[in-house]
Structure 1
Amino acid sequence: MKILRFAIVRQRYRLDGGAEKFITSVLEALSLLKMINLNIITREWEHKTEAHWKIHLCNPIQWGRVSRERDFAKIARALWHREGFQIVQSHERIAGCDIYRAGDGVHTKWLKQRCRILPIWRQKLLFTSRYHRHVIAAERALYQSPILKAIICNSQMVKKEIIEEFGISENKIHVIYNAINTQNFFPVNNYQRVQIRKNLSLPLGVHILIYVGSGFERKGLAAAIHAIANTHSYLLVIGRDKAEKKYRAIAKKLCCANRVIFAGIQVKVRPWYQASDGLLLPTLYDPCPNAIFEALACGLPVISSTTCGGSEFISPGINGYICDALDISALTDAIIALTTTGNSQSSIYSRAKVMPLSSKHLSQQLFSLYKKILD
C-alpha cells in the first residue's frame, strides 16, 4: 500500500481539552501504522510534537470571533489543497474536508439549550449574533459539501441530531467513541481512597462528588451547586472558567460554600477521581465528555443529563442517574440515592461499560473508515 498523506485540522491544542485528547489518541494510534504520513494544520500546538507528526501553522490575524473562524478556514483549506493530502479530517466546521468530526455537536442544539438559562432579551440576541449566524452557516455548508465523505460522532445523541437537522444519510455517519486508558484510570479500595484524600488535603468521612470540566455554564456547574446545597455531600470542582467568582458567589448564597471545593485544572486528574464517590456533571449540552469515561473507568457512578451523549453509558439505578440538566429536584434525589446505594457491584459495572474503548479499538475503527473512503 502507498504512503497515505493524512491531515488533521484543529485550530488550537489545549492540554485540558476533550477534543484534543481524541486527536492525540488518533495520532498515537495511527502513528503505529507505518503507511500513514501524519500532518496537523493548526494555529497553535502546545503538545509535544513527535518526529512523525508534521505541523503546518496557519495563524492569520484575528479581528474578532467571526474573522478567527472564517480566515483560519480559508487559509487551512488553501493549504490542504496545495499539499494534496489524500484524506483531510477536520475538527473545525470547514466545508471541503473529506471527514468531519462533530466533536462540538450541532450548534443550533446547543444554542437552544443555552436559551433555557437566559432571559428572553438575551435569547433573541443569541440567535441574531453575527458570530452564531456565521457558525450555523458554516456548519450547514460543511454538511452540504459534495466532498464530505464521512462524519465521525462521539455519541448516538449527536448522530441523531445531525440526521434531524441536516437530513444526512445514516450510512455517512460513524459513531466512534473516544478511547479511554483503563490502565491509567482504575478503581481504588476504601483504604486507598482515604490515603489519597489525605494527600490531596480533602475532607475525610464525607460524601464527595467530583465535577470535571472547563466552561462552567455549559457544563452545568450552577445546577450542580444548587443540587449539592440540598444535601450533605461535597462538590469537588476540577476545571477553570473566567467567571469562577460568580459560581463561588452562588455557593455562598446557598450556604454551601464550605462544601464546594474549587481545585482548578489538574494535569493529573486520576487521584481526584479516586478520592471521590461519584461524578456529577449536569451539562446543558455536551456531545460526549471524556470525564464520564474517566469516572466510569475509576469505578464511579455518574449523574449526568439527558443532553449529554455520555449518558448512553449510564444505566439508571445501577451505575448512576440521568436527569434534565435544570431539574434541581431530580439531581438532588440522585445525589441522595448515591449516598445510600454505593457498592462494589456498581463499581464493577461502571468500569465494564468502558473497558472496550481502548486505543487499539479506536485505531481499528478509524483505519477501517479511512480504508473504506480510499477504496
Structure 2
Amino acid sequence: MKIALVHKKYTTHGGTERYMVGLSNFLVQNGHQVHVFTGSWNEKVADDRITFHKVPCWGKHLGIDKYIFARSVYKKVQKYNFDIVQTFSRVGFGDVIRIGGGCHENYVQRLMGSIDDSLYKLKKRLEYKLSFDDYFTRYYEAKDFKPNNYKKIVAVSQMVKDEVIAKYQVPAEDIIVNHNGVNIKKFHPENQTEYRLKIRKEHGLDKDDLVLLFVGTGFRRKGLEYILKAMTKINGVKLLVVGKGKINRFKRKARELNILSNVIFAGPVSNVEAYYAAGDIFVFPSIYDPCANVSLEAMASGLPLITTQTNGASGIINHGENGFILDNSENVEQLISYIKRLTDQDLRAGMSKAAREKMLDYTKEANHQKMLEVYRQIANKQRSESRIEIK
C-alpha cells in the first residue's frame, strides 16, 4: 500500500512522535510505500526507504503553528493518490485519525480541577481563553470528528473512545481501541539481574528497601504531590522519582512534609528500563493521561501498578490482580491503602507476575499489526468495486 503519515514532527522525542517513527519503520519493513508529511524530521531515526515531504509549520510563538501546518499539509496531501492517509489528530482530516492526546476539553477541565489556588486557576483559565493555540487545538480537534472527515478513528484507550463519543457524538462503531504497545524485550523483569543493585547503590538505596517508583515528565499533572502526601502515613518505604519536572519545588514540598530523606530525585535518564528494575511498586496517580506509556513499561517490567481512572492505561489493569485503580488522583487515603497492601511480599510477587503476563498481549508488534489491518479494511472497501484485494 501507498501510505501517508501526517504529523508536525518526526522524532523520538514525545510519545506520538516515537509512535509515528516506530509505525513508519514497521510499514516499510513490511513492504509498504511510506510518505511522511511533517514540519521537521530527525534524519538519524529516519529509514532511507521513507519519502519525506517538508510542510510549513511556523508561528509557534504566535500560537498559530497548528493552523499553518493543518492548512498546508491538507493541500500537499491532495496532490498525491494514497491508499491510506493517517493523521495523528488535530489537523482536521485523514482516512485514519489516531487520537493519542485524548479530548482537549477533558484535559483542561481535569487540570483546572487540580488547582487549589483560585487566583492561579483564574489566571490559567484566562490564558486558555485568550490563546490562539488553544483555539486552534479545539477547532481542529472538532473538525477531525465531523462526518466525512475520517473513515476510522483509532483511540489509544477505552477512556479516550468514551470521551470522543460523549463530546462529539461519534458512532461507537467508527472508533477502534488500539492501546499503545510496549517493547517487551527491552522492558523485562530479567533486567533486575543486571540493574537492580547497580541503580539502588547509585542512588543510596539499600537492597532490602521497599522502593516506590514514579516516572514522568510534568510532575504536577502526573500526581507526584499525592504520592508525597501518602508517604507521610507509610513507614519504611522510599520513593525514587525519575523524569523531568520542577524538582526544586517538589523537594521543598517533601521537606515541608518531613519526608525528604526518603525521596530521591534522579532527574531525566536515558536508561529508564534500569530504573524499573530498581523499583518494587510503580505509583502513577495521574490527573489525566490518555494512555501513559510508562504504565505499560512498568507492567512489562514486572511492577504492580497503582494509577487512576483518568489514566487510559487503567483499562488494561485487572483491579486487584496486576494493579490497583484509584477513583481519582486526590484520593490519598485510597492510595495509602493500596501501597500498604503491596508491602506484602507474596501479594506483590503474584501481582508482578500477573502484570508481566498481561503485557504480553500489548506488544508494539501487535499494535502495529492491528493498525495495518485497519488500513487494509479501509483500502479494500475503497477498491471493492474493482475487486482488488490489498495484501
Decide which of 219, 223, 232 is 2:222's aligned counterpart. 219
Length-normalised TM-score, structure 2: 0.88
- 2:8–2:38: 8 Å Cα contact kept in structure 1? yes
Unaligned runs of 5+ in 1: none
What SS class does the counterpart of residue 79 from structure 2 fall into?
helix
Determine whether 1:339 maps to 2:336. no
Matches for 1:292-371 after TM superposition, within 5 Å: 292-323=295-326, 324-341=328-345, 342-371=347-376
1:192 Cα deviation from its structure 2 partner: 5.8
Decide which of 235, 240, 249 is 1:236's aligned counterpart. 240
Determine whether 1:93 maps to 2:95. no
1:94 Cα deviation from its structure 2 partner: 0.7
1:69 Cα deviation from its structure 2 partner: 1.4
Q: String of CA shifts for 1:224-264, please: whole Å, max 9, x gaps.
A: 222233323222222113x3332222222212222222222
1:314 Cα deviation from its structure 2 partner: 2.0
Length-normalised TM-score, structure 1: 0.91
Decide which of 174, 179, 182 is 1:180's aligned counterpart. 182
State how far apart, in whole Å, the 1-side matches of 2:151 and 2:4 are. Answer: 15
State how far apart, in whole Å, the 1-side matches of 2:48 and 2:60 are. Answer: 34
**Aligned-residue CA RMSD in angstroms?**
2.2
State how far apart, in whole Å, the 2-side matches of 1:57 and 1:351 are. Answer: 41
The residue identity in structure 1 corresponding to 2:254 is: A
The residue identity in structure 2 corresponding to 1:339 is: T
- 2:238–2:263: 8 Å Cα contact kept in structure 1? yes
1:306 Cα deviation from its structure 2 partner: 1.1
Matched residues, number: 370
Decide which of 15, 19, 33 is 1:22's aligned counterpart. 19
Q: String of CA shifts for 1:81-117, please: whole Å, max 9, x gaps.
A: 2234332211130112221111000111111111112
State how far apart, in whole Å, the 1-side matches of 2:312 and 2:354 are. Answer: 19
* Residue number in structure 2 paired with 1:44: 40
- 1:25–1:179: 8 Å Cα contact kept in structure 2? no
1:21 Cα deviation from its structure 2 partner: 3.1
1:126 Cα deviation from its structure 2 partner: 5.8
What SS class does the counterpart of residue 82 from structure 1 fall into?
coil
- 1:159–1:175: 8 Å Cα contact kept in structure 2? yes
Q: String of CA shifts for 1:276-335, please: whole Å, max 9, x gaps.
A: 001111111111111111111111100101101111222232222111111112112222
1:370 Cα deviation from its structure 2 partner: 0.4
State how far apart, in whole Å, the 2-side matches of 1:56 and 1:224 are. Answer: 45
* Residue number in structure 2 paired with 1:71: 68
Q: String of CA shifts for 1:171-221, please: whole Å, max 9, x gaps.
A: 111111222121221114977665233453340121111111212222222
The residue identity in structure 2 corresponding to 1:289 is: A
Decide which of 233, 253, 263 is 1:250's aligned counterpart. 253
- 1:284–1:308: 8 Å Cα contact kept in structure 2? yes
State how far apart, in whole Å, the 2-side matches of 1:49 and 1:134 are. Answer: 29
- 2:239–2:264: 8 Å Cα contact kept in structure 1? yes
State how far apart, in whole Å, the 1-side matches of 2:193 and 2:363 are. Answer: 28
- 1:213–1:219: 8 Å Cα contact kept in structure 2? yes
Q: String of CA shifts for 1:139-178, please: whole Å, max 9, x gaps.
A: 1111115131111111111111111111111111111122
Over 3 Å counting, the alpha-carbon distance change for 1:96 and 1:222 in structure 2 is same
What SS class does the counterpart of residue 85 from structure 1 fall into?
coil
What SS class does the counterpart of residue 88 from structure 1 fall into?
strand
Identity %: 26
* Residue number in structure 1 paired with 2:161: 159
1:13 Cα deviation from its structure 2 partner: 4.2
Over 3 Å counting, the alpha-carbon distance change for 1:10 and 1:238 in structure 2 is farther
- 1:301–1:346: 8 Å Cα contact kept in structure 2? yes
* Residue number in structure 1 paired with 2:378: 373
State how far apart, in whole Å, the 2-side matches of 1:299 and 1:65 are. Answer: 44
Determine whether 1:121 maps to 2:122. yes
State how far apart, in whole Å, the 1-side matches of 2:182 and 2:330 are. Answer: 28
State how far apart, in whole Å, the 2-side matches of 1:65 and 1:200 are. Answer: 44
State how far apart, in whole Å, the 1-side matches of 2:217 and 2:52 are. Answer: 26
Over 3 Å counting, the alpha-carbon distance change for 1:196 and 1:176 in structure 2 is same
* Residue number in structure 1 paired with 2:384: none
